Amino acid sequence: KEYNRVYNFSAGPAVLPEEVLKEAASEMLDYEGSGMSVMEMSHRSKVYDKIIKDAEADLRELMNIPDNYKVLFLQGGASQQFAMIPMNLMKNRKAAYIVTGQWAKKAFQEAKIYGEAVEVASSADKTFSYIPDCSDLPIPEDADYVYICENNTIYGTKFKTLPDTKGHTLVADVSSCFLSEPVDVTKYGVIYGGVQKNVGPAGVVIVIIREDLITEDTLPGTPTMLKYKIHADADSLYNTPPAYGIYICGKVFKWLKKMGGLSAIKESNEKKAKVLYDFLDESALFKGTVRKEDRSLMNVPFVTGSEELDAKFVKEAADAGFVNLKGHRTVGGMRASIYNAMPIEGVEKLVAFMREFEKENG
């Protein structure tokens, strides 16, 4: 059967590699001779144990994760981490937050439930269209950690250099830039992300956490399920994990390895983003909304300046097979999310379509 696939620019859940989807489909009824689908098998079975162990090993290889970091496959989405982080890390009940968008703000507000969350920088003054200078932040001496959202999905900004945390533990939400380029894991205490953008199906959140941050000493009242130690001690099998989702993530890790790893995928992402940004920079109709040096490789917001034209563009683009280009409901305009699995042809064809639209409407 030939499928009628669209170019899907959704911010998440988002496009996954076709190869991965096809392989998963071919294994749906009988995974490697087990006679069942991965979603039907016990998470304690030998065959599943290999799936989750291989997934972890491949992720470790891709990201070059040192041995003193644990990899946890958890549930509850990235939003659950907004609470789990303070519950587990706020020993002094104090933490510094850099507020660069709605997701950072949500994490900041959640942390306030548990202790003193201090906003040490923000880009709210210009609708989060840039990354603030983080070279000399007023971080309280006794802050337990410094929190960032490394790539801001809604606004399309990305930290190109990490903030100077002045020796404090760095915690980063990388949901929308996960595995899009190499990272130096040793610079972070915690890196976490929901996988439903670059890595797999919604329902899995991956937490990479330095071992010394995993302790019994959580805030009073922390539910068992929200303790990192419980999950770390059980290798993510304390309870039934999001088993099928982890299996798909594992396939995406293998796909990334085949593509040449994170340096290669970064190169491809830069090439892809350049096609779109170069067009935005020359277009008389479409304009990027982000300060150039802070532009994300993954999420590209743009506007025409007219709400009416924006709506017309989104509709005509969808009719032509370029879907989910509407900007986030809180900011309007357009946003093209061009995650790892978006082929460059998708971006080139989108730009060609934008050129035509500009001719007719400019």
Q: Which residues are catalytic?
A: 103, 173, 197
Could you say whether residue 198 binds ligand PLP (CB under 6 A)? Answer: no
Could you say whether residue 110 binds ligand PLP (CB under 6 A)? Answer: no
Which of 78, 106, 107 lies closest to 196 in space, CA to CA? 78
Could you say whether residue 191 binds ligand PLP (CB under 6 A)? Answer: no
From 129-137, 168-176, 178-186, 211-219, span contacting ligand PLP (CB under 6 A): 168-176
Which long-range contacts (C-beta less than 8 Å, at least 24 apart) are formed by 320-323?
320/353, 321/6, 321/7, 322/6, 322/7, 322/9, 322/346, 322/349, 322/350, 322/353, 323/6, 323/7, 323/8, 323/9, 323/10
Instruction: Provide the minimum distance between the beta carbon of 68 and ligand PLP in the complex, in angstroms, as a whole number.
Output: 26
Tell me the three state secondary structure of residue 73. strand
The answer to the question of whether 44 is labelled as a binding residue is yes
Q: What is the DSSP letter of 291?
A: -
Taking CB under 6 A as the criterion, the residue among 7, 12, 131, 189 binding ligand PLP is 12
Taking CB under 6 A as the criterion, the residue among 56, 58, 110, 173 binding ligand PLP is 173
Taking CB under 6 A as the criterion, the residue among 16, 149, 172, 303 binding ligand PLP is 149
Could you say whether residue 10 binds ligand PLP (CB under 6 A)? Answer: no
Could you say whether residue 156 binds ligand PLP (CB under 6 A)? Answer: no
Q: How many alpha carbons lie under 13 Å from residue 333 in its C-beta half-sphere?
A: 19
The answer to the question of whether 184 is labelled as a binding residue is no
The answer to the question of whether 81 is labelled as a binding residue is no
Q: Are strands 7-8 and 322-323 parallel, antiparallel or unpaired?
A: parallel
What are the Cα distances from residue 354, in Å, to 47, 146, 166, 279, 304? 48, 40, 45, 9, 11
The answer to the question of whether 153 is labelled as a binding residue is yes
Q: How far apart are CA 69 and CA 184, in angstroms?
A: 12
Evaluate whether 231 touches 243 at the Cβ level (below 8 Å). Answer: no
Evaluate whether 114 touches 89 at the Cβ level (below 8 Å). Answer: no
Instruction: Provide the minimum distance between the beta carbon of 259 and ligand PLP in the complex, in angstroms, as a whole number.
Output: 23
Taking CB under 6 A as the criterion, the residue among 176, 236, 268, 324 binding ligand PLP is 176
The answer to the question of whether 100 is labelled as a binding residue is no
Find the length of the chain: 362
User: DSSP secondary structure string, 134-171?
Assistant: -SS----TT-S-EEEESEETTTTEE-SS----TTPPEE
Could you say whether residue 175 binds ligand PLP (CB under 6 A)? Answer: yes
What are the Cα distances from residue 319, in Å, to 31, 65, 315? 37, 43, 6
Dig out the tokens for 14 from the structure: 């988002």
Q: Site for ligand PLP (CB under 6 A): how many residues?
A: 11
The answer to the question of whether 103 is labelled as a binding residue is yes
Window 227-246: residues binding ligand PLP (CB under 6 A): none
Taking CB under 6 A as the criterion, the residue among 77, 140, 261, 332 binding ligand PLP is 77
**Residue closest to ligand PLP (Cβ):** 77
Q: For residue 147, how many other CB atoms are within 10 A of its CB? A: 30
Tell me the three state secondary structure of residue 180. coil
Nearer to ligand PLP, 194 or 333 (CB): 194
Taking CB under 6 A as the criterion, the residue among 37, 79, 92, 122 binding ligand PLP is 79
Nearer to ligand PLP, 123 or 304 (CB): 123
Binding-site residue numbers are 44, 78-79, 103, 153, 173, 196, 239-240
Binding-site residue numbers for pyridoxal 5'-phosphate are 78-79, 103, 153, 173, 196, 239-240
Give residues in contact with ligand PLP (CB under 6 A): 12, 77-79, 103, 149, 153, 173, 175-176, 194
Binding-site residue numbers for L-glutamate are 44
